[in-house]
Amino acid sequence: MTRFAVGIDLGTTHCALAVAPLGEEGAPPEILDVLQLVAQGQVEARPLLPSFFYFAHESEGPQALPWDPERRYAVGEHARARGIDAPARLIASAKSWLSHPTVDRRAGILPLGAPEDVEKISPVEASWRYLEHLSEAFDTRYGGGEAALAKQDVVVTVPASFDASARELTVEAALAAGIEKLTLLEEPQAALYAWVTGTGDAWRKEVRPGDVVLVVDVGGGTTDFSAIHAVDEGGSLQLVRVAVGDHILLGGDNMDLALAHLVGQKLAAAGKTVDRWQQASVVHACRAAKERLLSDAKLASSPIAVASRGSALLGGTLRTELTRDEVTSTLVDGFFPTVAADARPTTRARGALTQLGLPYASDPAITRHLAWFLARQASALGARPGERASKLLHPTAILFNGGVMKAAPLRERLVATLDAWLEADGAPPVRVLGGADLDLAVARGACAYALVRRGKGLRIRGGTARAHYVGIEGAVPAVPGVEPPVSAMCVAPFGMEEGTEAALPSHELGVVVGEPVRFRFFGSSVRRDDRAGTLLEHWKADELEELPPIEVTLPAEGRREGDVVPVRLRSHVTEVGTLLLEVEPLAPLKADERWRVELSVRGEG
């Protein structure tokens, strides 16, 4: 029997788990303090589990946990701290690798540049280990058995901008960690659930039909935008997620690094050098100074002291300071510049040979990314008769999420910039929905959603955040140097709801029997009106985004090897929240003959 509703925030830099007992009406989600190694041989329960994985060297001995004395790796705080000492053995930002478009995310590639004795693991396995650790800590706390995490209703959050294959890989990691009753939820939606739960019933006064809530989620490593529309359906208020933004690898860590760079320059100008190890404490000190300066408007500066490496603290400790002006110009103006509504993020042309790495956003200006999001999603609410088409989606309310947005000056700048855009369009300013705990809201909201799924409570609808397309090469005579034209067939329309299915009416695809056949795969977060089966010959450059290719292997059973079998595609959105593509032969040899299409195969890049 299921005893708990559980929400897990599987974050880029931190994980958190919230739990609520079932059958206790109104019991709010509580954060589980996660037992973890905090130093060699020291275990402590903390609300956040840092998303770091450290391969202990043979000389370090086992990384014993209360439930596993022989473990050879560490996850959590000790992993994070040890990684500063021995960075080549550390995996960080595994989640960003999970959504990397051109690497094999099931292959042992992490950490990049690890020493030879390290048996590298895949981005999927790293995520699996974090979930496994949460599961073990949960079972230690609640005793396992009937109360084991494997038996509970678990909601794991993903960025709204995660594509179909990254979602599927997240599910794969969760299943590997033994989580069986699993549902995915988009993080901005989780933040809204947390806010709704946190206000009690008061939220109905704050959100009214017609409202468009913009969720701005700036975490440690990623920035995520979503728009949620409140509509009146037969007298009751419904929330519909109408738009999600692109995956932007830009977050609080970038801000701390920018400040650390500035401080490093100041120290260098004073003739002092900072080694790699000290660099980590510079970042740490900058984060603390940033938080002080941004939360206390009266402070003019905050000192930065960086301890010497050796045991002699006096004489070797470096001192400088971070001033309010520096923080303002680096963070507020650097990451949240006041820009016009038609500003667009700059993209840096990549060299032909780029080093394998994460596709970090090349423009650090979150306001420019937001302008682009609102412009792309201008018609997210659909055209309303008699209304002049606007160039911008007009939010009426804004909900912040993520640790970065705890800083009032950053929130104020973003709201002021947005309000200026709205005013220019003749729209009213946004209301700020306040009161959420920005660090733990996603875990709490995920837990609240697990409760909502079991019955009462408002549910945000929305379905898939993208329409999906398969690339079909035109049958034209081969001409050297000319690529055959590719058309895109919609296989899953925008906003497909969980538990629904779409069959493609006509177009036939041919699949060679007995060998893997690859198709190009595309997603679109703006083409809302394409139905399953719609064939696109042309599209604008930014409408369709190419995703990792998909692959299908038809077994040769009963057919001649090398034969081309005509098939048609069928798409489902599973109850878990992943997209499932299947091919169905037009002339089946047995009842219900169909094969699953693999969504996440290695990219060509």
Partner 1 sequence: MPTDPEISFLTRLWFAWLCSFRVLFDARFAARVWSVREAPALPPSPAPTPRAADTTPALQLLALLQREGRLVDFLQQDIADFPDADVGVAARVVHDGCRKALRTHADIEPVRSEAEGARVTLEAGFDADLVKLVGDVKGEPPYAGVLRHRGWRAKRLELPARVGEHDARVLAPAEVELG
Nearest distance from C-beta of residue 43 to partner 1, angstroms? 5
Candidates 22, 27, 64, 231: give the one binding partner 1 (CB under 8 A).
64
Of 56-64, 233-241, 356-364, 472-480: span binding partner 1 (CB under 8 A): 56-64
Phi, psi angle pair for 216, to nearest 5°: -110, 110
Our finding on whether 176 is near partner 1 (CB under 8 A) is no
| Closer by beta carbon to partner 1, 240 or else 288 | 288
Sheet holding 73-75, edge to edge: 73-75, 53-55, 90-91
Our finding on whether 299 is near partner 1 (CB under 8 A) is no
Our finding on whether 177 is near partner 1 (CB under 8 A) is no
Contact letters for partner 1, residues 477-516 (x by CB under 8 A)? ----------------------------------------
Core vs surface per residue 420-449: b (16+ CB within 10 A) or e = ebbeeeeeeebbebeebebbbbbbbbbbbb
CA distance 569 to 584: 6
| Closer by beta carbon to partner 1, 184 or else 259 | 259
Q: Is 441 helix (H, G, I), strand (E, B) or coil?
A: helix
| Closer by beta carbon to partner 1, 79 or else 452 | 79
Candidates 22, 147, 150, 288: give the one binding partner 1 (CB under 8 A).
288
Of 14-22, 200-208, 302-310, 468-476: span binding partner 1 (CB under 8 A): 302-310
Asked if 337 and 368 count as a contact pair (C-beta separation under 8 A), the reply is yes
Nearest distance from C-beta of residue 121 to partner 1, angstroms? 23
DSSP type of residue 96: H
CA distance 594 to 584: 4
* Alpha-helical regions (H) of 396-482: 408-424, 441-453
Q: Which helix (H) or strand (E) element contains residue 547?
A: strand 545-553
Nearest distance from C-beta of residue 269 to partner 1, angstroms? 18
Our finding on whether 65 is near partner 1 (CB under 8 A) is yes
Our finding on whether 295 is near partner 1 (CB under 8 A) is no
Of 38-46, 126-134, 174-182, 363-371: span binding partner 1 (CB under 8 A): 38-46
Core vs surface per residue 249-259: b (16+ CB within 10 A) or e = bbbbbbbbbbb
Instruction: Name which of 503, 466, 500 is nearest 575 in CA terms.
Output: 500
Our finding on whether 303 is near partner 1 (CB under 8 A) is yes
Candidates 41, 108, 113, 605: give the one binding partner 1 (CB under 8 A).
41
What's the sign of the alpha-carbon dihedral 392, 393, 398, 401? Answer: negative
| Closer by beta carbon to partner 1, 65 or else 191 | 65
Candidates 22, 27, 43, 257: give the one binding partner 1 (CB under 8 A).
43
Q: How many CB atoms lie within 10 A of CB 42?
A: 10
Q: If binding means CB under 8 A, how many residues of this protein chain bind partner 1? A: 29
* Alpha-helical regions (H) of 143-211: 164-176, 187-198, 203-206
Asked if 461 and 522 count as a contact pair (C-beta separation under 8 A), the reply is no
| Closer by beta carbon to partner 1, 317 or else 354 | 317
Candidates 21, 42, 473, 589: give the one binding partner 1 (CB under 8 A).
42
Lookup: tokens for 41: 């041989």
| Closer by beta carbon to partner 1, 35 or else 448 | 35
| Closer by beta carbon to partner 1, 71 or else 406 | 71
Cα Dmax for the chain = 82
CA distance 218 to 413: 14
Of 35-43, 338-346, 441-449, 587-595: span binding partner 1 (CB under 8 A): 35-43
Our finding on whether 375 is near partner 1 (CB under 8 A) is no
CA distance 131 to 109: 19
| Closer by beta carbon to partner 1, 62 or else 429 | 62
CA distance 31 to 444: 7
Candidates 30, 44, 437, 546: give the one binding partner 1 (CB under 8 A).
44
Contact letters for partner 1, residues 304-343 (x by CB under 8 A)? -xxx---xxxxx-xxx------------------------
Candidates 85, 146, 412, 515: give the one binding partner 1 (CB under 8 A).
85
| Closer by beta carbon to partner 1, 303 or else 499 | 303
| Closer by beta carbon to partner 1, 38 or else 147 | 38
Of 64-72, 92-100, 413-421, 512-520: span binding partner 1 (CB under 8 A): 64-72
Our finding on whether 391 is near partner 1 (CB under 8 A) is no
Q: Which helix (H) or strand (E) element contains residue 293?
A: helix 276-295
What are the start-end ranges of the E strands in 174-300? Answer: 181-186, 212-218, 223-233, 236-244
CA distance 465 to 162: 9
Phi, psi angle pair for 9, to nearest 5°: -95, 105
Our finding on whether 113 is near partner 1 (CB under 8 A) is no
In sequence order, the 6+-apart residues with CB closer than 8 A to the CB of 192 are: 213, 215, 228, 239, 399, 445, 460
Candidates 28, 62, 87, 533: give the one binding partner 1 (CB under 8 A).
62
CA distance 105 to 550: 14
Our finding on whether 69 is near partner 1 (CB under 8 A) is yes
Positions 539 through 558 that interact with partner 1 (CB under 8 A): none
Positions 185 through 214 that interact with partner 1 (CB under 8 A): none
Of 17-25, 181-189, 299-307, 526-534: span binding partner 1 (CB under 8 A): 299-307
Lookup: tokens for 490: 């919609």
Residues that bind partner 1 (CB under 8 A): 37-44, 61-62, 64-66, 69, 85, 285, 288, 303, 305-307, 311-315, 317-319
